Structure 1
């Protein structure tokens, strides 16, 4: 997505100037919160636990063996069935349904029927019952960065497994407590978008971009880089164009001195306009083989997007609808002062992990 339009260096400097957060706060959208489980499959787990009456254990065991066999035979509207037998006289049924509607149908039918068979055998029906949507293996911002550091490497977009990286980025569940510190705006220029560095190394830059109401980027390319983007807050539109033909004058100038290359291009051909919204399609990917684009905030509230540029963009072509093109050269600075921090001491306890999963997987 958008990166280095003229003036964006100043936008990075804003992070250092302690811009008041009040300006950003009143622009932030008041939309329904995104749910963590919306990143998962939508499956619903139903757990039922029963204990036998002390003098009816043998009969209880006989009945639950039959119930277990019946549950294991279920194939319609279920994706998994497990039966736990902690000890004689106790059973736990764990059934995973493909939807809440399927669970509701089960509770009104089969569950009523098999609980009738347990009457007089179990202690007052189920001693425990719970159901809920299956929690996905969602990323925190920290775990997403760790994944990206390990898996996004190379000199150009051809080195990347675009599909897999896109899937992992989509698994991030943005929490304001993770990204609020990267939100900065310029109160003196209400239509200026800002670029706030979260992480940068030789393989990529990870940037939170803040889009005030009504602002839009230039039309630009991404040189040899991959560009992944996911909307964090609000809604933006990506306007995509086919890469136009460049004149010989520009191509020759770009070879001699990219920083000053200016020329002409063919008419821009609109290819697609797509909305990225926290309640719908959240992510997209771009490189020069796909086309060029601009990003727009067409709403009356603030929008925030996370961008991964790999490798970091050193230069980009800026196109105008009047048929001109020029090269913009820039670089990103790094460090805590730009809003990004990789210091372990700065992380919250849950960001460090509850236990060493890799060690467990190797040893057990």
Structure 2
């Protein structure tokens, strides 16, 4: 095991994860996020919830990446969306989520291509060439997911159910303690 692999195998806290992400290259993000063993208590200072929609809580943002804790009430889900050209890893912290992926068919219509259930410590990966996706908290309780974006995402395309078209959406945080 080389020193990078050994360091990522020892990620036992949110601070360890942040340090590794700051020190390593983007090409190592997948190994880093997958190997991190993060106690739920590390997220207490970043947890905020909304009855209206899942809450986007910024943990850290810099030029290379952003790390966001999404806090979900039971049944909350995202719209179908892309990632503004950036890579995205989702690590489940608490709860159970359903990810549904979509592609456009030859007529331009959006079709579901797959779905996956993820539980605590599972990691999924998405980038725009893979299509679009949505996430749903299928737990009967509050849940949390950690989202790592290689380069911060400022906007993305979101599927509007009424018009059956994608619209550009500027993204913001519900909390931003990393000022």
Instruction: Specify if TM > 0.5.
Output: yes
Pick the structure with more helix per residue. Answer: 1
Q: How far apart are the structure 2 equivalents of 1:185 and 1:174?
A: 20
Deviation of residue 215 (structure 1)?
0.7
Partners of 1:236 and 1:270 in 2: CA distance = 17
Higher strand share: 2
Instruction: Show the counterpart of 1:184.
Output: 48
Secondary structure at the counterpart of residue 108 of structure 2: coil
Listed one character per residue, the Cα deviations across residues 302-328 of structure 1 (whole Å, up to 9, x for unaligned) are 110000112111111111456211111
Q: Which has the higher contact order (CA 8 A, sep 6+)?
A: 2
If the length of structure 1 is used for normalisation, what is the TM-score?
Answer: 0.43
Specify the structure having the higher radius of gyration (Cα): 1
Work out the CA distance in 2 between the residues paired with 1:138 and 1:199. 17
Alignment match, 2:157: 317
Contact kept in structure 2, 1:314 and 1:330, CA below 8 Å: yes
- The CA distance in 2 between the partners of 1:233 and 1:177, in whole Å, is 11
What residue number does 1:68 align with?
A: none
Q: Kindly state the Cα deviation for residue 331 of structure 1 after the two structures are TM-superposed.
A: 4.8
Unaligned runs of 5+ in 2: 1-8
Instruction: Tell me which of 187, 190, 196 is aligned to 2:57.
Output: 196
Provide the secondary structure at the position in 2 that maps to 1:181. Answer: helix
Which residue does 1:330 correspond to in 2? 171
Q: Helix, strand or coil for the counterpart of 1:192?
A: coil
Matched ranges for 1:31-70 at <5 A = none
Structure 1 stretches of 5 or more lacking a match?
A: 1-135, 153-159, 246-264, 342-364
* Matched-pair contact (CA < 8 Å) for 1:266–1:323: no
User: Number of aligned pairs?
Assistant: 170
Aligned residue number for residue 275 of structure 1: 117
Does structure 1 retain, via aligned residues, the 8 Å contact 2:40–2:93? no
